[in-house]
Amino acid sequence: MSTDLAKGSHVRSKARFMKAKGLQKTTSRKARASSINYKTGPVSRSDRFLGALKSAKRVTFLSHIHPDPDSLGSMLGLAYLVQNVLGKEVRLTRDGLINRAENQAMVNLLEIELVPIEQVIWEEGDVAVMVDSQPKTGRHSLETLPLAVVIDHHDTPGKVRGIPFVDVRKSMGATCTLVVEYLREQNIEIPPRIATAMMYGMETELTGYPRHASSADEEAVLGFFLMRTRNCFLRFAMPVCHNPTSREWCMRCKVHLSMIV
């Protein structure tokens, strides 16, 4: 028997012995590291997010100009997380007007308080969290901000160098999906109001070209759908039907109704 064959026979015999004894082969450090998922690792993304805000006096959430449901839902969910875990004072802002009727309905029905970004007074100890966007992309009224965090899902590259915590995942269909993961990692129960906002944010991002839902998006949407948020969600899609301005708007409402009833 050749040396190579003898070695192969020895390895197979050792493997059978370990299997019979219920033992497992020790994996290399590199293999162990590659098998660690961010949800089960020693420091999750949500831990790092909260760590970047730990020393802040107040946390201000902002997004791109004319915020949409995904940015509104993301800000609301993250603010809820920061309040519950860190006990920090928070404020949500809007950059520009919210023009779309269904987005206005979302803000009104969920009573989302938004401070116009130009009216924000920055004080010592204030930090900013940018969601659903990235700095220096031409989508903001203000460019100089005390940014501590950037969370986004767009592939538009921004200037994020030097920002303490950045979580940009282009594979995700919506920024709200990232926020759902943060809340679940921290074992925070998501109340219906927050769930409704994030569910609607995901729905608006994942319906139609060019984005497609990832498995994480689908899991988050299904979880919220089972929480029975549909009644409030339905009202977001319907406001223009009470005072239709065009056939296009009415047809869009019918599409929403056919999906969620």
pLDDT digits (tens, 9 = 90+) for 190-247: 988 898 899 888 888 877 555 567 777 777 777 766 665 555 665 665 554 444 444 4
Closest CA to 134 of 119, 156, 109, 117: 156
Domain boundaries along the sequence of the chain: 3-34, 45-227
Q: What are phi and psi of 258, to 5 degrees?
A: -65, -25
| pLDDT number for residue 39 | 47
| pLDDT number for residue 215 | 73
| pLDDT number for residue 73 | 95
Question: Angle at the Cα of 177 (from 251 to 93), degrees rounded to 5?
Answer: 80
- What are the C-alpha distances in Å from 51 to residues 7, 47, 55, 185? 51, 6, 8, 14
Contact assessment for residue 158 and residue 149, using Cβ atoms and an 8 Å cutoff: no
Contact assessment for residue 220 and residue 176, using Cβ atoms and an 8 Å cutoff: yes
Please spell the DSSP secondary structure of 15-30, one letter per residue. HHHHHHTT--PPPPHH
Which CATH homologous superfamily contains domain 45-227?
inorganic pyrophosphatase (n-terminal core) (3.90.1640.10)
Check: pTM over 0.75? Answer yes or no.
no
Q: What is the dihedral of CA 58, 64, 67, 70, to 10 degrees?
A: -90
